[in-house]
Structure 1
C-alpha cells in the first residue's frame, strides 16, 4: 500500500504547505520591521503553521518561536527564557554576550523589564542580523499576572528606537484568538494599539486546488468541487475530508461527490467530537448572544450592531464577512453542525434567569439563586416584583452577603406601601446587622419590627432582640433583656402553632445565654435544660454544645460529648449555615464538639472525625483538610480553640500523601494561631514549605499576612533568623509588592532595618529605594498613610542621610557629573548643583 500523504499531522510538512495572502502580508511586516505583526484568527485555521513556515523561509534571520501556553511563574522567568533560548540557538555567535548576561544576573538584580531590555540589546549587537520573536497563543496570558508587563515591554521596544537604533533589527509577531488589549488588566496602561493586524483567511479556490495537487489526491473536478462546496476553503476541515477521501481510495472505493457527503456526515454530524465543530458547538451551547447572532445571520443577513458579538463569531470560527452578503456562516459543514433545530432545542431547554433563580431559592440553593437574581436585577429591575426582590435580598442574606442584603432590604422597606413587607424587611435587616456584629443597628431595626402588624414577625423580632441584648453585654440592658425573655417564653407557650417547639426552644436557649452572660448560672442551666426537654432533634447538637461550654465538670463534658457523637452518628442531620438557623448543626457547633473530644474524650476523636468525613465532606478530602476547615470555623472563639485541631492534624494525620498545598495551609494556620514563642518553628516550616512548593502566582494574601506577622515577631525577638526568612521570601517579593503594596512595603522595611543593623549601606539603600517605588503605587491617604508613613519616612530619611554623607566629600569647586531625569549627563561645579542634588532634582554620577 502506498504511504499516506495526508496522515494526521500537527505541523504541516513544507511540501504540503500552501501560502496564502497572510503569508505575504507577514513577510512584508517583518521585512519592514516597522510595527509588530499580530495574527488575529480563529482556532484550527493554521496560524501556528503560518508562523513556522515563515521561520523556515527566513534562514538569514534569527527567528525564535515561543508557545505561551507553556506558562512561567513570573515575568522575570518569562523574559529570561526568551534570552536563554536565543543564546542556545547560536551559542558560538553569543559566546561573549552569554558571559556578560550571566555575570549581570549574578550581580545587582535589576527590574524584570530593565534586565530584559538590556540583555536584548546586547544580543542584537552581537548577532548583527534581524531577530524575530514569535509569541504564539497569546490568549493563554488571560489570567496571567504578568500579561501587562509582556505587552508593555513589546510596545516599549518600538518606542525606544529613537534612543536605541539597534532595535530596528528586532520585531515581534504575536498570534492568538484574543485582542492584545483584552489581555491588559491595568486600565491605567495604554492600550496595545501599535500592532499590524494580519487576518488569516480560508483557502481561495486556487489555493485549495494547489493543496489537492500537492497532496497528490487523484480525484476529478466534481469531487474537488464538492469538498470545496462543503468547506469553503477551511484548511483544517479541507485536510480532514481530503485525508478520509485518500483512505477510501486506498481501500478501493471510487471517489464521488456522494462519498464526500458520507464522509462529512460521519466526521461532523454523527458524533460532533471533531475539531473545529466540537469547540464551536461548546461555545454556542454556553453563550446565548452567539445563538441569537447565528439566527440573526440566517434571517436578516447579520443585521445586528454589536461589534463585540461580531468579534466573538469571527474568533470562534463561526462566521466571516462576505462582500455581497455581509456576515455569513463560515461554511456548510459548520452551518449544518449549528442547525436551527439544535439551537431551538437549546433555547427551549434553557429556562429564564428569573425561573432559575426562583427554583434555586425554593430549593434553598441560595448561592445559585443570588447569582441569577442578580442577572435579572442588573438587566431589568421592573421584572423583579416585590416578592422576588425580597427573595433576592434573602438569597444574599442566607448566602452570607449581609451588607448587600441590608442594602436590598432597606431599599424595599423605603419603597413599599405594605406594612407587613416593611416589618419583614426591618426584621431581616436586623438579623443581617446581628450577623455583622453591629448590635446597635440591629437593636434599632428589630425594635422597629416589633410594631408591625404580623404577630409571627413580632415573635421573630423578639427572638433576635434576645440575641442582640446578649451580645451587647451592656449592663443597662440587663433588665430589658430578662423581661423580654420571660414575656416571650410565656407568649410562645400560649400559642398553638406547628412551629411552637422551634420558637420555644430558641427563646429558652437565648434566655439561657442572657442569664449566663449576666452572671446567673442557676437560671442559665435551668433554661438550657428546659430547652433540651422541648427541642426538636435538629436543635439538639447545638444545645449539647451550649451545655459543654457552660459546664465546669469533666465528667459532665464527657457525657454531653458522648451524647453528641451518638446523635450525629445515628441520625441524618444536615450541616447548615448560621444564617439559615442559628440553633441548627452548623460548622461552628460541629467544630466545638470535635475540639471537646480532643480535650476530654480523645478515644472517640478519630472515629468521629471519620464519621464527619463520610457525612459532610467529599470522599477525596483528607483528614488534615477537614481539621483545618473545622479549626477555621472556631477562629472567632476565645482562646483560639482551633489550635487543638491543627496540632492534632500535624502530629497524627500529616502523612506523605497529603497534598503540599494542604501542608502549606496547615503550617500557615499553626504559625498564625500559636503564641509568639511556639509560632517560631511553625513559621519557619510555613516559609520553607511555601518556598519549595508554591508558585508565586498562587500566593494568597493570607500567606503574605502570616509571613509578615511572623517576620515582625522575629524582628522583635530573634533577628538572627531573619536572614533565612528573607531568603525564603525573596521569590514572592515581587508578587507581594504588586498585589498588596502595603505588605510589600513592610517586608522591604524589615530588610532595610536589618541591613542597617549590619551597616550594609548598599543593601539598605536598595531597599529604601524600593519602598519609595512601591509607595508610588498606593494612595497614601487617611488610614493607609497613618499605617505606612513610618516606612516611607524611614526610607526617605535613610536616603537623605546617605546623600548627605556622599556630598560631604565634595568641595565647592569640584567638578561633578550629574543627570537631570531624561536629559544627558552634564559636567558642572559642585556649588552650582548642590541644591539640586540635595532636593533630588538631579542624580550624582561621579567626579568629572
Structure 2
C-alpha cells in the first residue's frame, strides 16, 4: 500500500517490529504471500527514517537466479546496496569490485559493508532484504550469504560501527528452508515477527470507506472479517467491492448483503474473477512444482473435514502454512477463512488427488 494510505491497518506486528529494530534486534518476517509484509516495511521505514535511521529496501529477486553465477549475484547485491543508499557518487562499484578480484565474492561483499557502507554512512543503518526466498532458486549454495549477516551481527561485540548496522529479512520461506547450518544462520539470533490477519479492533481505518455506504459500518466490517478471517488482501478487496457497488445495503441485512457480494464477485467462477491474482497464487503454490502435492492435499482435506487438526510441524504443514491456505491457532491447524473453504472445497481437492 502507498506510504500515506489512509486505510493502512496497524497490527501488533507493526509495534513488535518497530520496538525490536529500535533495540537493534535482527528481525525476520517469513509468511505467506499477500499478508502485508511490504506495506509493513514501507510504514516502519518511514517511521524510522523520521527518527534519523538510514534505511534501504533491497529486492533481491531483481538480481535474478537463472543461470547467474555466484560472483554475478554477490556483485549485484553490492550494486543494490550502493544504489539503495545513494552512494553512486561516492563509489564506482564496478571498479571497486574488479580491484578486489583476488578475494572471493563473499569476502568482497563483507569488505564492501565494512569499508564503504559503514564508512560512508555514520547514522544507524537498516537493510530490509525483501523476497529472501528467491535464494532458494539459486544454482549455488547461499549459506555464505546468511553467514555474512550472522557475522555482521557477531561483530557488534567488538565494533561500535557494526552496532549501527541491522537487517530485516522478508519472504515466503521458513528459516530451515533458507539455511540449515545452526552455527551460521542469523535466524537463531534474530527476532521472528509474526504477521496475522486483521482483528476487528485493528481494522478500524477501513471504516472510512464503509461509513459512506451504511449508518452502521461496524456491523458491516464484522461481516467482512467473518468471511475473510482478516486476511489483509481479501479484507481490503471485499471492502473495495462494497464501496464500488451501487446496490443499496438494507439495514439489518448486512450479513446477507456481504455473503451475496462475496459469492458473486469472489467465489463463483473464481479463476476468472481473481484479479488482482490471489486465489490462483494459493492454487499454484499447492499444485505447481511441489513434490508433495498429494500429501498437501490430503492433509488439507483432513483439516477441511475435521475443522482443525493438531499441528505436528511436518514438512507438509509448513508448505500449507506458507501457501496461506491454513493458519495455526494455538496447537491446531485450521482453514484460514470461509472464502478459502468454499473455493478450495472437496470438489476442488478431488480434481487433483
| 1:1-16 map, 5 Å | 11=2, 13-16=4-7
Residue 20 (structure 1) aligns with:
11
Q: TM-score, normalised by structure 2?
A: 0.82
More helix by share: 1
Q: CA deviation at 1:157?
A: 0.9
SS of structure 1 residue aligned to 2:169: strand
Shift of the 188–171 alpha-carbon distance from structure 1 to 2, 3 Å rule, reads closer
Q: How many residues align?
A: 327
Counterpart Cα distance in 2 of 1:23 and 1:188 = 28
1:46 and 2:36 aligned: yes
Residue 267 (structure 2) aligns with:
269
Residue 230 (structure 1) aligns with:
227
Q: Which 5+ residue runs of structure 2 have no aligned equivalent?
A: none
Residue 105 (structure 2) aligns with:
112
Cα deviation code 1:214-256 (max 9, x no counterpart): 77554324322221110121110011111111011xx353364
Counterpart Cα distance in 1 of 2:211 and 2:83 = 38
Contact 1:40 1:176 in 2 (8 A): yes
1:83 and 2:81 aligned: yes
Contact 2:311 2:333 in 1 (8 A): no
1:314 and 2:299 aligned: no
Residue 62 (structure 1) aligns with:
54
Q: CA deviation at 1:312?
A: 1.7
Counterpart Cα distance in 1 of 2:36 and 2:212 = 20
Shift of the 140–217 alpha-carbon distance from structure 1 to 2, 3 Å rule, reads farther
Shift of the 149–190 alpha-carbon distance from structure 1 to 2, 3 Å rule, reads closer
Residue 183 (structure 1) aligns with:
178
1:142 and 2:136 aligned: yes
Contact 1:64 1:133 in 2 (8 A): yes
Shift of the 335–199 alpha-carbon distance from structure 1 to 2, 3 Å rule, reads same
Residue 23 (structure 2) aligns with:
32
Shift of the 234–168 alpha-carbon distance from structure 1 to 2, 3 Å rule, reads same
Q: CA deviation at 1:102?
A: 7.4
Counterpart Cα distance in 1 of 2:94 and 2:169 = 28
1:241 and 2:241 aligned: no
Counterpart Cα distance in 2 of 1:271 and 1:130 = 50
Shift of the 214–136 alpha-carbon distance from structure 1 to 2, 3 Å rule, reads farther
Counterpart Cα distance in 1 of 2:307 and 2:340 = 19
CA RMSD of aligned residues (A): 2.7
1:161 and 2:156 aligned: yes
Contact 2:308 2:332 in 1 (8 A): yes
Shift of the 218–121 alpha-carbon distance from structure 1 to 2, 3 Å rule, reads farther
Counterpart Cα distance in 2 of 1:188 and 1:46 = 29
Shift of the 222–31 alpha-carbon distance from structure 1 to 2, 3 Å rule, reads closer
| 1:451-600 map, 5 Å | none
Cα deviation code 1:321-371 (max 9, x no counterpart): 234x82211111111112123323433xxxxxxxxxxxxxxxxxxxxxxxx
Residue 290 (structure 1) aligns with:
296
User: Which shifted more, 334-343 or 234-243?
Assistant: 334-343
Contact 1:296 1:303 in 2 (8 A): no
Match of 1:205 among 200, 203, 207: 200
Counterpart Cα distance in 2 of 1:69 and 1:107 = 26
Counterpart Cα distance in 1 of 2:106 and 2:279 = 41
Contact 1:296 1:304 in 2 (8 A): no
Residue 125 (structure 1) aligns with:
119
Q: CA deviation at 1:89?
A: 6.1
SS of structure 2 residue aligned to 1:132: strand
Counterpart Cα distance in 2 of 1:196 and 1:240 = 31
Counterpart Cα distance in 1 of 2:99 and 2:211 = 59
SS of structure 2 residue aligned to 1:43: coil
SS of structure 2 residue aligned to 1:14: coil
Cα deviation code 1:803-848 (max 9, x no counterpart): xxxxxxxxxxxxxxxxxxxxxxxxxxxxxxxxxxxxxxxxxxxxxx
Counterpart Cα distance in 2 of 1:300 and 1:260 = 23
SS of structure 1 residue aligned to 2:137: coil
| 1:241-390 map, 5 Å | 241-248=238-245, 251=246, 253-254=248-249, 256-273=254-271, 274=274, 275-285=277-287, 287-297=293-303, 298-299=305-306, 301-303=308-310, 305-323=312-330, 326-347=332-353
Q: CA deviation at 1:195?
A: 2.4
Q: Which 5+ residue runs of structure 1 have no aligned equivalent?
A: 1-9, 348-848
SS of structure 1 residue aligned to 2:203: helix
SS of structure 1 residue aligned to 2:309: coil
Contact 2:327 2:333 in 1 (8 A): yes
Counterpart Cα distance in 2 of 1:14 and 1:269 = 27
Contact 2:13 2:194 in 1 (8 A): yes
Contact 2:150 2:185 in 1 (8 A): no
Q: Which structure exhibits the higher relative contact order, with contacts defined as CA atoms closer than 8 Å and separated by 6 or more residues?
A: 2
Shift of the 291–22 alpha-carbon distance from structure 1 to 2, 3 Å rule, reads same
Counterpart Cα distance in 1 of 2:176 and 2:112 = 26
Shift of the 293–188 alpha-carbon distance from structure 1 to 2, 3 Å rule, reads closer
SS of structure 1 residue aligned to 2:58: strand
Larger-gyration structure (1/2)? 1
Counterpart Cα distance in 1 of 2:173 and 2:318 = 9
Contact 2:63 2:73 in 1 (8 A): no
Counterpart Cα distance in 2 of 1:20 and 1:90 = 36
Q: TM-score, normalised by structure 1?
A: 0.36
Q: CA deviation at 1:307?
A: 2.5
Q: CA deviation at 1:30?
A: 1.0
Q: CA deviation at 1:267?
A: 3.0
Shift of the 217–46 alpha-carbon distance from structure 1 to 2, 3 Å rule, reads farther
Q: CA deviation at 1:54?
A: 0.9
